[in-house]
Amino acid sequence: MTASFSTAFEESSRAHAGRVATLDAAGGPVSFENLFYTMMAFAEALQDRGVGPGDLVAVHVTDAIAGSALRLALLRIGATAMGRCAPEGGEGYRPDWHLITEGTAATGGRDIAVGRSWVRSPRRWVPATAGGAMIRSTSGTTGVPKLRRITDEGLLARITRGSDWRGRPEGAVFIGYATPSGPFFNHMGRALLGGVMQVHPRDDDAASLALMEAAGVTAAFLSPWNFRRMVAAAEAGAMRPRSLRRIMVGGGEVAPDLAARAEALFGAEVVLGYGSSETGSIAHTRPALHRDVPGYVGPVYDDMAFRLCAEDGSPADPATGGELWLQVPEPIRLHDFPSGRPLADAEGWVATGDLCRILPDGGLQFLGRRSELLNIGGTKRAPHLFEALARGFPGVADVAAFRLPEPGGGDRLGLAVVPGPGFDATALAAHLTVHLGARCPFDMVVRDAIPVTPAGKTDRRRLSDEHVSQSPESVAPG
């Protein structure tokens, strides 16, 4: 059988059988051997209930260990795992089965209830079967998340490549992403293949930091949202894990000043990873070393050719910028689901939808998503340019820019601000007015938190929808 994540996980579990792979809900250790045999028992139970190769299975189980073991079991028996969805599925697909937690509400589809009786020793050996796959959802910046299919072999190729470029974990890791997300599975996979323990978030950030200290975590993989929360908790007096050496943030922007504060707090380097569902890992950098270049993400990895294109497809001026196209290595190319259409053209080129420019040192500066650009007075601008004006202002804990459609066309700038100690809305509005000028009117709304997608990215569409539909009180519009 061709090398796949399923076979690599089996080999790693044999090699590291007695090591602790993770902790259960009660904090007890789960060895690699026990985790593997739990997955085998799940695979056996799924087969006994009629699940087989080629079946599409929606996993509604939210527990990190059980949900992960179920996805691994589905891969092993040649089925296709996807996240929760309606019983009727979506356009062009309908799940054959829905896996739900025992005692929870039925979906209305063909449900299989997963309970404590599933956690046992397997009664037979379940061989790895070819054809296993996972369906992943993009972050949905256009409002409609796109589904992508990745094979068992493709998963191994992506995880291995990511580790080659960004380094393999040398000790216990903390994974601060939503359980069903692609980043969660990627980082979980790196830990499983690397033979190191992984731990997951607790109910609050202080408890998560205490867990990291107790587990001796050396690397933390965080979404931007979880990163900001963890820094805030540490600054408020929560435990600072003494063994932490690296914080890898992916899925959005990290302000250089915040990265520098975090490095001072934890004594660990903060690394921003840049990539996408369609292409895999693209680049990484330490934001604290590039304070004067907002959006700097580093040089593109050497195994990917790239180009910048103008709106008409012609070559763009590298210094001015354009849409980033990447030539993706064949083993990690994905297909659309359910159409099966390759995302790359015949030569492997993929349009990322990201606007970037090339700096003199060869690194990329991320300017924004094409789909998120704000049309202010006929000029298209990236949200992070507005956010940068507010982030460094005293009393601003967090900020997100979003579009407010104007009746006559174009956009008005919306700014959602999370206040911190000493916040002065009037002073911030005056500061923004001076820098933005009369040609860029804005509405500012104060919120308790910035909404995020399941992948931990800023949910700008939700901000726009809520501001328009609920008309929250704006503070000092420009």
**Is pLDDT at 407 greater than 80 in this prediction?**
no
pLDDT in tens, 127-146: 999 999 999 987 544 446 78
Least confident of 125-134, 184-193, 236-245, 369-378: 369-378
Closest by CA to 322, choosing from 357, 351, 297, is 357
Cis-peptide into 338, omega within 30 deg: yes
Amino acid at 337: F
- Token pair 């599975």: residue: 185
Q: What is the mean pLDDT of residues 120-132?
A: 97
Residue 2 has which token pair? Answer: 């061709």
Q: What is the pLDDT of residue 53?
A: 98
Q: Is 14 exposed, middle or buried (0-12, 13-18, 19+ CB in 10 A)?
A: exposed
Rounded distance between C-alpha atoms, residue 436 and residue 401, angstroms = 13
**Residue count of the chain:** 478
Report the percentage of the chain scoring pLDDT > 90: 73
Q: Is 185 exposed, middle or buried (0-12, 13-18, 19+ CB in 10 A)?
A: buried
Higher-pLDDT residue of 378, 389 = 389
Q: What is the mean pLDDT of residues 455-470?
A: 81
**Is pLDDT at 198 greater than 90 in this prediction?**
yes
With cut-offs at 50, 70 and 90, classify the pLDDT of residue 291. Answer: confident
Domains plus CATH for the chain?
32-150 (3.40.50.980), 373-470 (3.30.300.30)
Q: What is the pLDDT of residue 1?
A: 57
- The CB-based long-range contact list for 147-152 (8 Å cut-off, 24+ gap) reads 147/82, 147/90, 147/336, 147/337, 147/338, 148/277, 148/278, 148/334, 148/335, 148/336, 148/337, 148/343, 149/80, 149/334, 149/335, 149/336, 149/337, 149/340, 150/334, 151/4, 152/4, 152/5, 152/6, 152/75
pLDDT in tens, 392-403: 799 998 899 998
Q: CA angle, 311 as apex, 400 and 436 as ends, to 5°? A: 35
pLDDT in tens, 163-180: 999 999 999 999 999 887
With cut-offs at 50, 70 and 90, classify the pLDDT of residue 455. Answer: low
In this structure, the dihedral spanned by the alpha carbons of residues 219, 221, 227 and 233, taken in order and rounded to 10 degrees, is -50
Q: What is the pLDDT of residue 203?
A: 87
Rounded distance between C-alpha atoms, residue 308 and residue 300, angstroms = 12
Closest by CA to 198, choosing from 169, 175, 221, is 175
Name the H helices within 314-419: 383-391
**Is pLDDT at 473 greater than 50 in this prediction?**
no
82: Cα within 13 Å, side-chain hemisphere: 28
**Is pLDDT at 273 greater than 50 in this prediction?**
yes
Q: What is the mean pLDDT of residues 363-382?
A: 83
Rounded distance between C-alpha atoms, residue 376 and residue 413, angstroms = 7
Element containing residue 182 per DSSP (H, E): helix 182-194
With cut-offs at 50, 70 and 90, classify the pLDDT of residue 472. Answer: very low
pLDDT in tens, 2-42: 699 999 999 999 999 999 999 988 889 999 999 999 999 99
**Is pLDDT at 382 greater than 90 in this prediction?**
no
Closest by CA to 30, choosing from 152, 192, 171, 182, is 192
pTM (predicted TM-score):
0.85
Q: What is the pLDDT of residue 25?
A: 82
Rounded distance between C-alpha atoms, residue 189 and residue 136, angstroms = 15
Rounded distance between C-alpha atoms, residue 285 and residue 279, angstroms = 18
Rounded distance between C-alpha atoms, residue 323 and residue 23, angstroms = 43
pLDDT in tens, 239-258: 999 999 999 999 888 889 89
| C-beta of residue 382 within 8 angstroms of C-beta of residue 400 | no
| C-beta of residue 73 within 8 angstroms of C-beta of residue 46 | yes
Q: How far is CA 252 from CA 21, 128, 458, in A?
A: 28, 36, 8
Residue 224 has which token pair? Answer: 């931007």
Strands (E) across 251-295 are located at 269-276, 280-285
Q: What is the mean pLDDT of residues 445-459?
A: 84
Residue 469 has which token pair? Answer: 């539909």
